[in-house]
Amino acid sequence: MPRRPALFRFLAALSPLFLASCGPSLDAEQGRLCRMLLPALFSIENGLVVLESEGVSERAVHVTFRAGPEGARPRLLSCRFGGTGYSAAKRDLVAVSLDGVGLGEAQMWFLKERWLESQIAIQTDPGPPIGERGWFQTSRIQANMLQHAIGALPRITILALLALATALIYGIIGRINLAFGEFAAMGGMVMTIAVSLLAAFFSGAPGMIESLALLAVLATTALWGHATGRFVLAPLAVRGGQPILVAGVGLLVAVQEGLRLAQGARNAWLPPVGSGGMILASSGDFNVIVSPRFVGLAVTGVMMIALVLVFMRRSRFGMAWRAIADDAEAARLLGLDPRATLVAASLLATALAGLAGAFITLFWGGMSFSGGTMLGLTGLMAAILGGIGSLGGAVITAVAIGIVQAIWMALFPIQHWELVSFTILTFILVLKPGGFFGYADGAQRHF
């Protein structure tokens, strides 16, 4: 069977991201804006209940509701907007009709300029449709556990990407690069800029815009990774010792400050897209909500991690990486080039860190210039605990850390997590210096 081109495999890995944004046509933000009009048209004292919300086209939303007592007949509110997806006109309300009769210009002006911009509209939001039930019923404890597990998927994916990036460099030279968190922040900022520019000049589906923006993120961070490997890591790895650690701190500060100067004091945020969430399970009045878009993004991240692990396992580059990680001098005698391999590993690792930052923007709408520092340190912790030279161990440990974080955040105060996690790291390394899947003398690397 002929081998598939790398580009084909990469586009196949991005396909869940595209499909996750091409599902139901209802935009959650537009659905919310449309139903927020109801308290301005009807008295909430007599009863106002949303029965159903649906997207009937890319820019139109239908809200079926009941105004009055239980036996009142259902009515229909239709809203049409000026854009969709990441368009700047996404929130621009251009037409509203009630039971098929359009509202006049004066009514439209009041709704747009006075009502939707007021705090009263937010406070009196009638909420999403009632009466929806999940696919299955479960106990309250199980429903809470399931909701926390779903909420942990994005963070686990991001930590696994950063741990894999760190392990690629840590395994080959036995020294850490502390700037991966900042490269993740760079990826998040590039994602915001790329999506904004593409949305301004290209009216495609959000999934297509995000896929193209991801290519821009990977290209930008890969170039930075190549430059870092060639001009910083490779020269210092030859000398050995601790200068490479100092250079990593300098690189961290330089990248973070550069991002601060480029972004300014305020963060840039992308508008929310997608159809919101669907009810997966129910327990009384508690519903477990899952977002198909979030699941699609998480699956895309998992596929990218699996693709890199398979690539490092079966490709000539992966075999060269392992040989140099075991003994750089012996690998050089066999004709391998440790410097070139390190530069390529830096390119790949920095691209993975940038991908993690891009996912942060896609998951939560944006990322600050300093938002990657703690994430980078957590990824470093996973790479160390996983064992020097063990890429799969770094990913497994990152998943374990993400699960422990989710459990801790569900049971204990969130602000103590960093203190507890790094205390645990210290004790584990005292007992097992090589990590769970590594070896104790793994830090000895000589170029």
Delimit the domains of the chain by residue range.
Answer: 28-123, 140-431
Contact (CB, 8 A) for 393 and 438: yes
What pLDDT, on a 0 to 100 scale, did the predictor assign at position 69? 83
Q: Cα-flanking dihedrals φ and ψ of residue 147, to 5°? A: -65, -40
Contact (CB, 8 A) for 90 and 30: yes
Six token digits for residue 426: 């210290």
User: What letter represents residue 47's amino acid?
Assistant: G
Q: Cα-flanking dihedrals φ and ψ of residue 379, to 5°? A: -65, -40
What pLDDT, on a 0 to 100 scale, did the predictor assign at position 23? 45
Mean pLDDT, range 395-414, rounded to an integer: 86
Strand 136-137 and strand 101-102: pairing?
unpaired
What are the CA-CA distances from residue 224 to residues 171, 220, 343 (Å)? Answer: 20, 7, 11
Torsion of CA 309, 313, 314, 317, to 10 degrees: 90
Contact (CB, 8 A) for 185 and 379: no
What are the CA-CA distances from residue 447 to residues 256, 271, 333, 341 (Å)? Answer: 29, 48, 12, 11
% of residues, the chain, pLDDT over 90 = 35
Rounded to whole angstroms, the Cα distance separating 257 from 142 reads: 44
Mean pLDDT, range 238-251, rounded to an integer: 81
Contact (CB, 8 A) for 331 and 338: yes
% of residues, the chain, pLDDT over 70 = 90
The average confidence (pLDDT) of the chain is 84
Please name every residue paired with 28 in a beta bridge, in sequence order, or none if there are none: none
Six token digits for residue 53: 């919300």
> pLDDT tens digits, residue range 313-347?
999 999 999 999 888 888 898 899 999 999 999 99
pLDDT tier at 25, thresholds 50, 70, 90? low
Rounded to whole angstroms, the Cα distance separating 237 from 282 reads: 55
Please name every residue paired with 53 in a beta bridge, in sequence order, or none if there are none: 63
Which of 5-14, 162-171, 271-280, 436-445 is the most confident on average?
Answer: 162-171
Strand residue runs (E) in 25-108:
48-55, 60-67, 75-81, 93-98, 101-102
Mean pLDDT, range 365-378, rounded to an integer: 87
Rounded to whole angstroms, the Cα distance separating 91 from 116 reads: 10
pLDDT surpasses 80 at 276: no
Report the sign of the C-alpha dihedral through residues 419, 421, 427, 430, in that order. Answer: negative
pLDDT surpasses 50 at 24: no
pLDDT surpasses 90 at 433: no
User: SS3 of 61, please?
Assistant: strand
Give the chain's count of helices (H) and strands (E): 17, 8
Q: Which H or E run includes 283?
A: strand 278-283
Length of the chain: 447
The architecture that CATH gives domain 140-431 is: Orthogonal Bundle (1.10)
What pLDDT, on a 0 to 100 scale, did the predictor assign at position 345? 96
The half-sphere exposure of 171 on its side-chain side, counting CA atoms within 13 A, is: 34
Q: Which of 221, 447, 259, 232 is nearest to 354 (CA)?
A: 221
Rounded to whole angstroms, the Cα distance separating 82 from 432 reads: 59
What pLDDT, on a 0 to 100 scale, did the predictor assign at position 177? 85
| DSSP designation for 207 | H
User: What letter represents residue 296's amino acid?
Assistant: G
pLDDT tier at 12, thresholds 50, 70, 90? low
Please name every residue paired with 281 in a beta bridge, in sequence order, or none if there are none: 136, 288
Rounded to whole angstroms, the Cα distance separating 88 from 83 reads: 7
Lowest mean pLDDT, pick from 45-49, 146-150, 237-241, 323-327: 237-241
Where do runs of H (alpha helix) occur along 283-337? Answer: 292-314, 316-326, 328-333
pLDDT surpasses 80 at 419: no
Long-range contacts (CB closer than 8 Å, 24 or more residues apart) made by 56-62: 56/25, 57/25, 58/25, 58/84, 59/30, 59/83, 59/84, 61/26, 61/27, 61/30, 61/31, 61/34
